[in-house]
Amino acid sequence: MNTIIGKKLQALRKERGFSQEQVADKLHISQSAYARIESGESHSWASHILKICETYEITPEELVSSENIVINNHQQGGGGYIQINQLSEKLIQQYEERIKEKDLIIKELRNRLA
């Protein structure tokens, strides 16, 4: 979950043209602490969720949604939202890789038993 949130925050920050330091200042934390949130190394985003959502103009539900990266696009009329299904595609790729790994382990174990 931390990695998903971190990727969303990074995408939102870049889309809005913020630096990590600018966002960290808004959250009243250090730049390095914010960098750890974006990298998925920290779960402290949860204690800053309301301020994060206010900063990026999103709802908490949009932030924690595991299916889409939601980016507020100021260039579209009416401040519409763009949903990018990249996370779903990445999750599918990861599951496919894990299934292949599982199949290889099973094959190896069967060979040992034979």
Domains of the chain: 2-83 (1.10.260.40)
Q: Among all chains, which residue has been given the structure tokens 């260039």?
A: 75
Q: Please tell me the distance from the alpha carbon of residue 114 to that of residue 43, in angstroms, as a whole number.
A: 46
Show Cβ contacts of residue 101 under 8 Å, excluding neighbours closer than 6 positions: none
The whole-number pLDDT of residue 94 equals 78
Tell me the percentage of the chain whose pLDDT exceeds 70.
77
Show Cβ contacts of residue 78 under 8 Å, excluding neighbours closer than 6 positions: none
pLDDT in tens, 48-86: 889 999 999 888 888 887 654 444 444 444 444 444 455
pLDDT band at residue 29, thresholds of 50, 70 and 90?
A: very high
The whole-number pLDDT of residue 38 equals 92
